[in-house]
Structure 1
Amino acid sequence: MLSSKESLTQRKKLPVSTRQGPPKALEKDWPKDNDEVEEKEEEENYVLHDPERGLDSLPQPYRMINKLVELLFDQSWELIEERAALRQADSTRIRPTVYTPVSEIQLSQRPSCMAMSQDYVFFGGAKGFSIYNLYNAERLYAWEKLRVDVTSIGVTDLGSEILIAPVDEMGIIRLFYLYKDALFLIKAINEVDDASKQPTCVKMEISQGGDFAAFLLQGAGDTWLDVYKLPREAWLKEAEHLPLTLNPKKKVRPLSTMDPITPDSADMDVNFSFKSDVKLSPPVHIMKIKPPKPITGTTFKSPLEAFAKVEDCLGLGSGQNHLIRDSQWEQRADLFHASYKKHLDRELGEEPLSSATFYFLLPSCVTSMPAEAKSSSGVAYVLGIHWTGSHNFFLYSLNRTLKDRAEPEGVWPCAAPIAASRLSCSSSYLVLACEDGVLTLWDVAEGFPLGVIALPEGCFCQSIHFLKYFVVHKGQNLYPEGPVKSQVKCVVLCTNTSLHLVTASSTQGPTSQVLVTRPVKLLDETICAVAPVPTLPGMVLTFARNGSMSLMDVAKAEVVCAFALPRAPRLAVTWKPLFAVSLHHPCFLLQGDCPGKEEPTSDTEDTRNSVFCFNFEAYPLLKNISKNRTISQEGSTENLALPLEKRCELLLQKSFQKLKTSLVTKDQEWIRLRRYSTLLQKENFRK
């Protein structure tokens, strides 16, 4: 006999199936009372009426997976309903008339930039640029002598002369002079022998008369502005004494057909010649401007010592000559860092180099010039510039030499940093837009501000575009004949893609009108570029992110018509279209990649590098607008654009005309009354 302890140990070693003892009762063999039996019968006979209740009883993780699938389905269904509603609204929306281009210019390579003058079109591309005739799309000359591509090109039309300034991928800017049928290379402005020390040209600007040029350069962690005086009269004399061979005039084909003009089909006779052996007079460097120094502590002990550093009190307002100590700056910096420590502790990237926006201003009451420096009218005298993050707009006199110190003669301080600015084509009006959404409008010609206006809340200026002043006469936009003074109309594109019309005059403060609001649902219709059309009064071109183009009447805030490329071509970059609007002719050019066939079969199919021309005079809706563009000052309904004496004279003439018409009507009414009275007398006598 085994002991109880040994028996227990031996039982543990045996498998479950061989263990001795009575088997344990299972759960299904347990005795059940009547309630449990009834409950089991109810469960067997239960019919599930709500399927969702059955899913709730699923074990994890199937219950969570089911909820995620349901959430995904609901979101997909909401998106489908939203797209269906958008398609329904889009189908019921009234669409404007769509016009296609009237002509096509086929290029041998894709252009990277383009510019227009009065008679020519300039395309920048691989290793140089080419010149085309605007009227017949014939290539006149191709200058391709660079090792890299041209990224941007600037053109200044001076009548019989044209200044061309292409910038290549290395940031080198060259100045060309086009006179009659000869092309001259004047100078490579910023080219150096050592490539490691090569500065890059970021911006350039040429004055209205072609007498001055300014180039913004960056290099070696520094930024500066080089200003040159252009010897235009010397260039004209040097070019006239050369034996230029003028090509005979060829038959011009109007831009009214859609037949593509290819380099093979067009007449490839070179009409222009490059004069590489002729050296024209180089530009004269007159000034080098650097960004303003950061404001630091002063060593001045009295206001008189600070004022002694300011010559002729012309630099007041720049913030340089002050009486703030270093300790005060340090205390202010400590307070600022303590208040915004959690935001300043984040890692910040490298601070970008400072940039600048600059303009050439004509002599006026604001930019007065000394008597000994009087020059011919239309010649720039002052350079206006503002740097990124700066509150000040600086004015520099151009009547100086390189030996003179580049100190500003005037400073216009603003309440907030200047974010954007724009000078009108006539150099008469200037708009300064601050980062807080406030616009300041200046009448530079007359020398007084037209007013200050704030954009709606949440709208900040992205770009400003001046419109040639127009009036609305009998429901039609027209340009008044003669000069218009102190009347401004400009279009402002905001950072939230909304479009506003700002109007100001000397007799009335500036007003703002919303032309296009930011789309909430159709985000692909947001405006990415705006261009005024000088030949059509009150019209602007708008380009959307989806590649659509439309012509808008800002007076009515409605779309007149739309434009589209033929045979379903595509833009290279829809949100950054490459286009050029003519200042002298009712047309604009647009670059587009058109497939080789009408229906391409694959994405790798060859495409044509085409530039399309849209001529407004060829479209029925715009034909009358392009022909009837001006109205006499007497017939204008808005005589505020006229001088005071002229307005008084017109008012007196209108009053005399009203008096004459009133006298005529009174005489007619008196005659009618006399006739009626005689008839009454005759009837009384009969009775």
Structure 2
Amino acid sequence: MSSHARKSTPESEMEAACKAQKSGGETLELCGAKQLPESTNCLACSEDGTYLSLGHSRGLSVWCASSLICAADWLEDRLEITSIQMTRMAERAYLLSTIDDMGVARVFAYHYDSIHLLSVVNIMEDINKRSICLSFELSEGGHYGAASISCNGVVWLEVYHLPSETWLKELEMAASQTQEPNSSGDVDVKFSPLSVATKIKPPKVPAGMGLNSPHEVQTTDFLIHYLAVDVDTRSRQWEEHFFNTGGEKTKGRTSESPKHCTQHFLLPCIQFPGDSKAETQPGLPVAVCVWWSGSHNLFQYLLQKAPKNKPDVEPMPDVLWPNAKEILCSAVSRCTRYIALGLDNALVCVWDRQSGSPLSIVSMPATESALFRMQFVDDGPVSTDDSQTLPEAEVHLLVVCKSGAIHTVTTGRGTQSCTMLLTERPKDSGDFPATTASVPFLQSLFLEVQRNGKMFLQDGINKTTVCLLILPKTHLIATPCNPVYTLNIKQQTLFIRGDQHPSYRESSEEDSQSQLFIFCFEKSDILKQYIVSPPDSPQQKTLSFVTLEETCNLYLQQRALSVDERNKAITQTWKQLQETAKMAQQRHSRAADS
């Protein structure tokens, strides 16, 4: 718990709430509470809104989201789950991915009121080669899983093909065994193992390609050229760090190894040259995009099983998205057509996978602070201009800077990009936004939780606080720097963990009584005007193009539609260049005269 939370008192919190109400903010009433298992570290909700999954100090539990009754649990002593995700695999069958405090990842299934351990992802066979799972993500529907693994300072990404159909048959077999009259309740079903679809390591320039002059690499090899430029850039960054810090240079070292990777699963989207080669099914990912810390490039890999005769061959990216600056953060739209990258020097680049080109490049006004995280607001207002024969939906982004300032970005092909400052850089560290999340079922609203424990819904258009979300005076938001919460999109409900306030404990040694607090947005009169129906499926209606020629025609038509806007941007840029050149010439003349 943060120092701000410890120093606060119930009276001061209620006084702050009253001041907020007087300034125009209202308070959203609490709908209910339920006691949580000891040390509940993480929460997740299934896409259909039926179940909640909880990771805690003795394993995990699955609750019914409407009644908050525990449907099943899987317990093991001295096992603490720190990360959990839940996705619906089939009717009454759900997959859960977890990471524990020792960095071990597991896959579970919740099926007919029972939890089954299906697989341990990174089994520790050798203590000297202990692998740690840094992140583990399941694709929606549970067809694939992606785990970032670290071992002895080396990091790589493993993408797994999950045998969902086979697991369903095995789960049905396990259920039938437990229903037998003479069954003791223990089932002996050996579940099928995971299979590695691809193992992705940080890209390297092939042997023989010198890094001293990356521009001398044959430009006809697009991939090799940008790899060489990227590695050379990282090498120069490390050398600058070396000279600035006065450290010792390790013999033979030319560049610093990437510390981590970020990945996103991608759904089918007609684009050249990658997606068109894959067999696509609605809702089934066809590729994964990856970027490594310190890199300028975003790589896309098709989800294909490694050849049996060449299992150790490192996969090459099918698509490379080069960027002028280092990538700091990323986000993918719900339909996965758009990929947004937050770059160094406060640049935001939105790539369009359908056309294979940037949708927009936006220069943020927050040049004094690096971009920290971003996300798409998929249910923002959509342009109603029907004048275009090939309409492009506007995309809306929520961008958070390291300084704590929050911006929105609205952009689209052929439209003027617009950035707006929602929240200025906080003067007090307690007002720093620990969590910002768009709420898909509330038009233009997003949830913000600050380090001081304050929680509210903000209007992204009018820049006003719509309402405060306040826990009872006996409790505080648990770990406000990293709150434990989840949104139930179907039930339009927020679940968040709160710990008992120290002032209300009978003794200082008494354990904090954690509660799961529920805020129902749908029943609130304050939020009625903002409630919208979220999309049921991430699929987006797109034009079908089979050949490269048709895809190129789409791109050229889009370019033709945006010619006026691009001409305005070019004219404005030349005007700024002329003014800058004139000012530089004047400064040079004054310096010469003096």
Report what 1:585 is aligned to: 491
Identify which of 348, 353, 359 aligns with 2:264.
359
Identify which of 51, 54, 65 aligns with 1:134.
65
Q: Supply the distance in 2 between the matched residues of 1:360 and 1:104 (Cα, whole angstroms).
A: 35
Q: Equivalent residue of 1:449, what SS? A: strand
Which one-letter code corresponds to 2:476 in the other structure? R
- Whether 1:465 aligns to 2:348 is no
**CA gap 1:345/1:578 in 2 versus in 1, 3 angstroms:** same
Alignment of 1:462-611 (within 5 A): 462-471=372-381, 485-520=392-427, 522-595=428-501, 599-600=504-505, 602-611=507-516
Cα deviation, residue 374, structure 1: 2.3
Cα deviation, residue 415, structure 1: 0.9
Give ranges in structure 1 of 5+ residues lacking alignment: 1-85, 248-272, 474-482, 632-640, 643-687
**CA gap 1:228/1:307 in 2 versus in 1, 3 angstroms:** farther
Q: Equivalent residue of 1:315, what SS? A: helix
Q: Supply the distance in 2 between the matched residues of 1:148 and 1:108 (Cα, whole angstroms).
A: 14
- Larger RCO: 1 or 2 (CA < 8 Å, sep 6+): 2
- Whether 1:435 aligns to 2:336 is no
Cα deviation, residue 443, structure 1: 2.5
Q: Equivalent residue of 1:574, what SS? A: coil
Which one-letter code corresponds to 1:392 in the other structure? N
Report what 1:283 is aligned to: 194
CA contact (8 A) 1:430 1:442 kept: yes
Cα deviation, residue 100, structure 1: 3.8
Report what 1:444 is aligned to: 353
Q: Supply the distance in 2 between the matched residues of 1:297 and 1:369 (Cα, whole angstroms).
A: 27
Q: Supply the distance in 2 between the matched residues of 1:295 and 1:345 (Cα, whole angstroms).
A: 31
Q: Equivalent residue of 2:477, what SS? A: coil
CA contact (8 A) 2:445 2:460 kept: yes
Q: Deviations over 1:380-428 (max 9, x none)?
A: 2222101000111111122241535411122111111111101122222
**CA gap 1:523/1:197 in 2 versus in 1, 3 angstroms:** closer
Q: Deviations over 1:479-521 (max 9, x none)?
A: xxxx99532111111111011111112231432111111133x
Q: Supply the distance in 2 between the matched residues of 1:204 and 1:519 (Cα, whole angstroms).
A: 33
Q: Supply the distance in 2 between the matched residues of 1:322 and 1:550 (Cα, whole angstroms).
A: 41
Give ranges in structure 2 of 5+ residues lacking alignment: 1-14, 384-389, 536-541, 544-594
Q: Supply the distance in 1 between the matched residues of 2:101 and 2:448 (Cα, whole angstroms).
A: 29
Q: Supply the distance in 1 between the matched residues of 2:460 and 2:277 (Cα, whole angstroms).
A: 45
Identify which of 256, 277, 292 aligns with 2:203.
292
Q: Which moved more, 1:387-396 or 1:154-163?
A: 154-163
Report what 2:163 is aligned to: 231
Report what 1:345 is aligned to: 246
Identify which of 140, 149, 157 aligns with 2:80.
149
Q: Deviations over 1:416-441 (max 9, x none)?
A: 11111011222222101112211101
**CA gap 1:465/1:144 in 2 versus in 1, 3 angstroms:** same
- Whether 1:401 aligns to 2:306 is yes
Q: Once the two structures are aligned, what percentage of the paired residues are identical?
A: 27
**CA gap 1:392/1:592 in 2 versus in 1, 3 angstroms:** same
Alignment of 1:378-397 (within 5 A): 378-397=283-302
| TM-score, reference length from structure 2 | 0.74
Q: Supply the distance in 2 between the matched residues of 1:91 and 1:595 (Cα, whole angstroms).
A: 21
**CA gap 1:416/1:617 in 2 versus in 1, 3 angstroms:** same
Cα deviation, residue 314, structure 1: 6.7
Q: Equivalent residue of 2:123, what SS? A: coil
Cα deviation, residue 368, structure 1: 4.1
Aligned residues between the structures: 499
- Whether 1:165 aligns to 2:97 is yes
Q: Supply the distance in 1 between the matched residues of 2:207 and 2:279 (Cα, whole angstroms).
A: 38
**CA gap 1:361/1:370 in 2 versus in 1, 3 angstroms:** closer
RMSD of aligned residue pairs (Cα, Å): 4.0
Cα deviation, residue 607, structure 1: 3.2
Q: Supply the distance in 2 between the matched residues of 1:609 and 1:322 (Cα, whole angstroms).
A: 48
Report what 1:199 is aligned to: 131
**CA gap 1:132/1:614 in 2 versus in 1, 3 angstroms:** same
**CA gap 1:375/1:406 in 2 versus in 1, 3 angstroms:** same
Q: Supply the distance in 2 between the matched residues of 1:371 and 1:527 (Cα, whole angstroms).
A: 41
Report what 1:116 is aligned to: 45
CA contact (8 A) 2:72 2:114 kept: no
**CA gap 1:316/1:361 in 2 versus in 1, 3 angstroms:** farther
Q: Deviations over 1:635-679 (max 9, x none)?
A: xxxxxx99xxxxxxxxxxxxxxxxxxxxxxxxxxxxxxxxxxxxx
Q: Supply the distance in 2 between the matched residues of 1:599 and 1:426 (Cα, whole angstroms).
A: 47
Q: Deviations over 1:190-233 (max 9, x none)?
A: 01233332200001222234222111100122111111111222
Q: Which moved more, 1:145-154 or 1:458-467?
A: 145-154
| TM-score, reference length from structure 1 | 0.65
Cα deviation, residue 280, structure 1: 2.6
Question: Between Structure 1 and Structure 2, whose CA radius of gyration is higher?
Answer: 1
CA contact (8 A) 1:105 1:137 kept: yes
Q: Equivalent residue of 1:288, what SS? A: strand
Which one-letter code corresponds to 1:360 in the other structure? F
Q: Equivalent residue of 1:170, what SS? A: coil
CA contact (8 A) 2:433 2:448 kept: yes
Q: Deviations over 1:543-590 (max 9, x none)?
A: 112101010111211111001111331233222211111232211111
- Whether 1:377 aligns to 2:309 is no
Q: Supply the distance in 2 between the matched residues of 1:136 and 1:624 (Cα, whole angstroms).
A: 27
Q: Equivalent residue of 1:471, what SS? A: coil
